[in-house]
Structure 1
Amino acid sequence: MASSTEQHKQIAGQQGPVPVAIVTVSDTRTPDSDENATYLREQIEAAGHTVAGYRLIKDEADLVAGVLDELVEGPARIILFNGGTGISPRDRTYDALSRKLEKTLPGFGELFRMFSYDQVGAAAMLSRATAGVYRNTVVISTPGSPAAVRLAWEKLIAPELTHLAWEVIR
């Protein structure tokens, strides 16, 4: 007999493609140099899902909050933020998102830092990667380094994407 998690994943998988939005938070990247968005778009589409939006914004709390409010009004069921999760004065993504999240998924950040430790050692503690739910939309925020985006996608997001999207609307 299948576990409830396996049953949930089976049901979720029958819901069709998941619309996912990508937000890169960076003071230096341009659409042409945004390799994280290129990577995520390729992975989302290869997994049979759709890219429901893309934004590239500066690391300003009001811009982060504004784009979140904008994207939750559209078709995206999952919004992937990358960038602005560190502890430097310019890193504001975590602060802006954490004020908005209605439910948090602490396990995402915990697991991300655990996996990151294998790549960067104790520096993993500097990451404020987070996830949660805002207006029935899953919001995931990772560091902006390409290695971090790949790690989060491969180890955490891709394996649970359909399950996450289904859980918030079931």
Structure 2
Amino acid sequence: MAIDESRDFIPVRIAVLTISDSRSLSDDRSGDTLVERIESAGHTLAARDIVTDDRAEIAARLRGWIESPDVDVVISTGGTGLTGRDVTVEAHRDVYEKEIDAFGTVFTIVSMNKIGTSAVQSRATAGVARGTYLFALPGSPGACRDAWDEILLAQLDYRHRPCNFVEIFPRLEEHRRRK
């Protein structure tokens, strides 16, 4: 597990979506954390938005971005908990064509090392839809840092070995090609 310096870095176009009934762009610390890390890693911030904890609204924003040729990845933050207003996971699953089951497991392992058994309260998830990766992270800046630093930084870097999400972009929609 290392960076292969013989490969060129490929910037990825990433949209950040904050799910919150109370935040605005001026006080969105989790969104700010993700944007800073995305840009520091050399990727492009393709879009940024905040929507309320509404399943249909979240799914509509995700669908809009997966239809955009300018977005390769969507990372959402917030709404992954257990309360009645936490519907981000359900909205993501409404959109997924395939779920990346191991993402939630790996995120839980990373979280266990930071917050112990409180990690069971997160429902972080990931999937793919129309050739776009979708990641749903908890709403805390710490969880966003952990997910980026421990998982996404490497998996969204084409140089990461033995494998990464970027190198399989061209094959995500191979089932849609005409034979």
Same fold (TM over 0.5): yes
Output one character per residue of 1:43-72: Cα deviation in whole Å (capped at 9) or x when no partner: 111111100000111010011100001111
List structure 1 runs of 4+ shifted beyond 3 angstroms: none
* Cα contact 1:138–1:168 (8 A) shared by 2: no
Q: Mean Cα displacement is larger for which, 156-165 or 140-149? A: 156-165
- Does the 8 Å contact 1:15/1:166 carry over to 2? no
Give the CA deviation at 1:17. 1.3
CA distance in 2, matches of 1:63, 1:35: 21
TM-score normalised over the length of structure 1: 0.89
1:1-170 pair list within 5 angstroms: 14=8, 16-74=10-68, 75-162=70-157, 163-170=164-171
> 1:99 is paired with a residue of what secondary structure?
helix
- Which whole-Å deviations, capped at 9, do the CAs of 1:69-121 have from their partners, x for residues lacking one? 11112211110011000110000000111122111111110011111112222
CA distance in 1, matches of 2:139, 2:13: 21
Q: Percent identity?
A: 35
Which structure has more helix as a fraction of its residues?
1
Q: Distance in 1 between matches of 2:117 and 2:143?
A: 14
| RMSD of aligned alpha carbons | 1.8
d(CA) in 2 for partners of 1:116 and 1:17? 27
Q: Give how far 1:15 is off.
A: 6.5
Q: What amino acid is the match of 2:166?
A: A
The AA in structure 1 aligned to 2:170 is I
Q: Is the 8 A contact 1:24 1:37 kept in 2?
A: yes
Q: Distance in 2 between matches of 1:85 and 1:71?
A: 20
Letter in 1 for 2:95: K
Q: Calculate the TM-score normalised by the size of structure 2.
A: 0.85
**Counterpart Cα distance in 1 of 2:111 and 2:44:** 27
8 Å contact kept, 2:63–2:95: no
Supply the distance in 2 between the matched residues of 1:58 and 1:23 (Cα, whole angstroms).
10
Q: Deviations over 1:5-52 (max 9, x none)?
A: 87xx75xx5363110000000111110000122121111111111000
Between the aligned partners of 1:168 and 1:142, the Cα distance in structure 2 is: 21
In 2, the alpha carbon distance for the partners of 1:15 and 1:142 equals 25
